[in-house]
């Protein structure tokens, strides 16, 4: 671990100043950052501890939605009565992630910013364009079972590994960001970026900006499902996951908000999938058509080829369950 300076950030504006530098990072729960520092994947010269900034409330918004503080823990969020009642897909996604101990420490803001679990990213003696631009991508032609099949580039095929953000994407949540230039809001669906030629840029946060909260829209009801496919039943990242908010009216899809995890560098949301489903009667053929569209541009890298049929099957399972539950 490289020696670093630790400062407890006294205020939001000070945090912006502290973290504006190249070599500075904010630390919240530390469950991801500290691991990466021990491995020297992250080598900040300065750590700004944001835990005392106060954004840990979970509170109602004026339009009936809910605001999740960036520093509220994953556990506090998942057990919050309104999250459980009005946004069950979110509670389920959070509880499907990591372990109880980690969730007790992990924060909502840190969860959105967690880094990929690519084996080559976390091993500093291996090439990785994300960690060391220009060094090459170790995963392509390497061990890539967990890697992406959508939105990849020839620079990087890593996935965003988290669960919570997949549910937030399905819910159409909005990220609140604060920095020296003021505050701004970005839809979760636009928060994470595809790797392209700059895989080290993972989200829209600029230097000195931090997440202060997440806004959930007014509850939409429907059947809410989070399905995470994994090798063991806890403490494993998703091979594929699906967050779904489904409603049927007169036997036809009247809501089909879907987002997918484990497939790409960001929670995957494809509005064309919803368009195909809306207004239609559920059927195997229709679900297949939705999967065709979703996976139209999917590309496997050998070891992860299975994710393509697995996504199709998982979507089928989720929509079948949702229509049965709704019926």
Partner 1 sequence: MTVHFKQDKPDNSNRLDGMKQGVLGKPLPRIEGLAKVTGTAPYAAEYPVENCAEGVLVTATITRGKVTSIDRTSVLSMPGVIAVVDDEKLCTRAAQGTANEAPMQGPAQICYWGQPIALVIAETFEQARDAAKHLTVEYLEVDGAPLDPGAVDPEEQDDETVHQGDLANAMAEAAHSVDVTYTTKGHASAAMEPHSAIAQWDGNKLTVHASLQMLNYNIAELADALDMEEDNIRLISRFVGGGFGSKLGISEEVVAAALAATQIGRPVRVVQSRQQVFQTVMRRSETTQRLRLAADSNGKLTGFGHEALVSNLPGESFAEPVLQSSHFLYGGENRELMLKVARIHRMTAGSVRAPGEAVGMPALEGAMDVLAEKAGIDPVELRLRNIPEKNPEEDLPFSSHKLAECLKQGAEAFGWECGLRKPRQRREGEWWIGTGMASAARVHNIAEAKARVTLKSDGTALVETDMTDIGTGTYTILAQIAGEMLGLDPEQVLVELGDTRHPRGPGSGGSWGAASTGSAVYIACKAIREELAAKTGASEEELELREGKTATGETLTSLLDGKDLAREGHYEPGEIEDDYTASGFGAFFAEVRVNHYTGETRVDRMLGAFGFGRVLNAKTARSQCIGGITWSIGVALTEALEFDPRDGHLVNCDLAEYHVPVHRDVPDVEVVLVEERDGAASPIQAKGIGELGMCGGAAAIANAIYNACGARIYDYPMTPDRVLAAMPD
Ligand X SMILES: Cc1cc2nc3c(=O)[nH]c(=O)nc-3n(C[C@H](O)[C@H](O)[C@H](O)COP(=O)(O)OP(=O)(O)OC[C@H]3O[C@@H](n4cnc5c(N)ncnc54)[C@H](O)[C@@H]3O)c2cc1C
Cα–Cα distance for residue pair 309/43, rounded to 1 Å: 39
DSSP helix/strand/coil, 139: coil
Nearest alpha carbon to residue 282 among 223, 326, 221, 226: 326
DSSP helix/strand/coil, 41: coil
Contacts of 283 (CB under 8 A, 6+ apart): none
Pairing of strands 24-27, 46-49: parallel
Nearest alpha carbon to residue 322 among 234, 257, 272, 271: 257
* Choice from 26, 118, 146, 166 touching ligand SF4 (CB under 6 A): 118
* Choice from 80, 92, 130, 269 touching ligand SF4 (CB under 6 A): 130
Residue 27 within binding range of ligand X, rule CB under 6 A: yes
The percent helix, strand, coil of the chain (3-state, each to 5) is: 30, 20, 50
- The residue (of 90 and 240) whose beta carbon lies closer to ligand SF4 is 240
* Contact in structure between 239 and 268 (CB atoms under 8 Å): no
- The residue (of 87 and 301) whose beta carbon lies closer to ligand SF4 is 301
- The residue (of 114 and 223) whose beta carbon lies closer to ligand X is 114
The interface mask with ligand X, positions 209-248, x = CB under 6 A, is -xx-------------------------x-----------
- Which among partner 1, ligand X, ligand SF4, none contacts residue 8 (Cβ within 5 to 8 A by kind)? none
- End-to-end Cα distance, the chain: 56
- Which among ligand SF4, partner 1, ligand X, none contacts residue 15 (Cβ within 5 to 8 A by kind)? none
The interface mask with ligand X, positions 153-172, x = CB under 6 A, is ---------xxx--------
Phi, then psi, of 37 in degrees rounded to 5: -70, -40
- Which among ligand X, ligand SF4, partner 1, none contacts residue 2 (Cβ within 5 to 8 A by kind)? partner 1
* Choice from 9, 18, 33, 214 touching ligand X (CB under 6 A): 33
* Contact in structure between 304 and 275 (CB atoms under 8 Å): no
Q: How far is the CB of 135 from ligand SF4 (least distance, A)?
A: 8
- The residue (of 51 and 123) whose beta carbon lies closer to partner 1 is 123
- The residue (of 103 and 312) whose beta carbon lies closer to ligand X is 103
Contacts of 292 (CB under 8 A, 6+ apart): none
Residue 30 within binding range of ligand X, rule CB under 6 A: yes
Tokens for 108, please give them: 């909502």
Residue 156 within binding range of ligand SF4, rule CB under 6 A: yes
Residues that bind ligand X (CB under 6 A): 25-33, 35, 50, 70, 74, 97-98, 102, 105-107, 109-111, 113-114, 162-164, 205, 210-211, 237
């Amino acid at each position: 671990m490289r020696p670093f300076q630790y400062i407890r950030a006294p205020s939001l504006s000070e945090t912006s100043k502290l973290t504006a530098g190249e070599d500075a990072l904010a630390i919240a729960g530390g469950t991801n950052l500290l691991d990466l520092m021990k491995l020297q994947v992250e080598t900040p010269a300065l750590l700004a501890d944001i835990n005392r900034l106060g954004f840990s409330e979970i509170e109602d918004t004026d339009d009936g939605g809910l605001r999740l503080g960036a520093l509220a823990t994953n556990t506090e969020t998942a057990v919050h009565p309104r999250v459980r009642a009005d946004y069950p897909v979110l509670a389920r996604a959070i509880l499907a992630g990591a372990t109880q101990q980690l969730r007790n420490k992990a924060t909502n803001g840190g969860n959105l910013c967690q880094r990929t679990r690519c084996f080559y990213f976390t091993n500093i003696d291996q090439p990785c364009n994300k960690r060391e631009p220009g060094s090459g991508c170790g995963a392509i032609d390497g061990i890539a079972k967990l890697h992406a099949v959508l939105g990849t580039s020839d620079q990087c095929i890593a996935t965003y590994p988290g669960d919570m953000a997949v549910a937030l994407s399905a819910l159409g949540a909005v990220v609140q960001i604060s920095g020296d230039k003021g505050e701004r809001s970005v839809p979760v669906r636009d928060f994470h970026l595809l790797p392209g030629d700059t895989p080290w840029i993972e989200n829209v946060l600029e230097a000195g900006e931090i997440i202060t909260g997440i806004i959930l829209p007014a509850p939409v009801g429907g059947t809410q499902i989070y399905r995470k496919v994994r090798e063991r039943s806890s403490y494993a990242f998703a091979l594929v996951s699906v967050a779904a908010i489904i409603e049927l009216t007169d036997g036809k899809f009247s809501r089909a908000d879907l987002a997918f995890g484990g497939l790409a560098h960001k929670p995957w949301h494809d509005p064309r999938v919803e368009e195909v489903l809306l207004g239609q009667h559920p059927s195997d053929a229709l679900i297949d058509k939705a999967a065709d569209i979703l996976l139209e541009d999917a590309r496997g890298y050998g070891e992860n080829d299975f994710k393509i049929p697995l996504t199709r099957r998982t979507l089928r399972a989720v929509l079948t369950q949702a229509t049965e539950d709704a019926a």
